[in-house]
Chains A and B, each alone.
Chain A
């Protein structure tokens, strides 16, 4: 399977993307901005900046069907060391406590380890969104678990289901078995068992449905993974699929787009709207541009600033910005809410 970009798919054009998402009248839902206004949340403003989420590149060893990044082996966009240095300067002069490394597969960036070591020296908490299969994909990655352990990295990994058929249907043939191997390697060195080695899993629904209750799903995942595979983990985060890139393509092709958007809008929860992650996070793109979140990044909606780039990071100015929203944001406010850390309510 190729990325949408490689296929020259119409959705690889962000303007087409946005025109589909912005046509709320055709979809039959209210404009997201109106829903925020009803709860006195429009314009949406940041609270305190806690997390810098860094997208280290779109290269990935997988080509998952729901990927909002449109990542894959054919994507060559990768963050340079120079941009990473700007991120480090930003961290030095701010009180941001957490750095969340994502991609693609962030580990495929040749400067990944160098970057982690430098962030570690700054004593910040590091999250790596590891797709698990990268660990077993090539001998040069087999020692990643040890590297993560050395830097006390909080690993957050997608596992959409505890059965192989559901996981493979979303993430590709054989991904479930490889993920089980990687999870065992992580468990063996203490991840998911020792209190300072956190291993969290992410549940994304494997179709046009919203995630169910996070606690109940976590219990079920724990029971199934332990009983059948002897695997332990810490938390399960339920994350709603946002209608962007390959998941949007899936919705359109399967004829589920309108009904899914309506389901998201009907499940709008004003309490979840208060806790959306863009209020305490800033997302850095592979080329250093800044966004309110990783989703806006994929839609090329740069955040509101004179120079929205990591080289010109100005915490004070950014704290006053207006967060850019569109109808994809309904994905963050449906039901119990959704963020990179799971449900928000």
Chain B
């Protein structure tokens, strides 16, 4: 088997992080489960946010599991792609807003 940094099967081993630090791992998973419960936002809305974030942080494990969970929650392809565009827009905006910093510095430096 070709060795890669990312292996799909590792997603299923996520729970094993508690083996090296149980208390913090357990706290994380409890917190994680609570976050995704139906609340002021529906489970469906939460998973679409998560899908967008997964793409913004470019985590292949998160993309895998959030895609499955979005499908389970009945999200359609258009909604899923729009969630990614939201992430892309914020990421792009975050890059571009720093253009103002560049412009400020240019102003300071040039005659």
Contact = CB atoms under 8 A, between A and B. Distances in A.
Interface of A: 161-163, 165-166, 203, 205, 207, 209-213, 215-217, 219-221, 266
B29 to A, nearest CB: 16
B76 interface: yes
Contacts of B42: 216, 219-220
Given A216-B42, A216-B43, A216-B44, A221 B74 contact: yes
A209 B72 contact: yes
Given A163-B76, A216-B38, A205 B43 contact: no
Most buried by B among A165, A203, A212: A212
Interface string B39-54: 0001110000000000
B69 to A, nearest CB: 7
Nearest to B69: A212
Contacts of B18: none
Chain B, interface size category, equals: 10 to 19
A209 B71 contact: yes
Given A219-B42, A220-B44, A213 B71 contact: no
Contacts of A210: 72
Given A209-B68, A216-B42, A216-B43, A166 B73 contact: no
Nearest to A221: B74
15 contacts: A161-B76, A162-B76, A163-B76, A166-B76, A205-B71, A205-B72, A207-B71, A212-B43, A212-B73, A213-B43, A216-B42, A217-B74, A219-B42, A220-B73, A266-B12
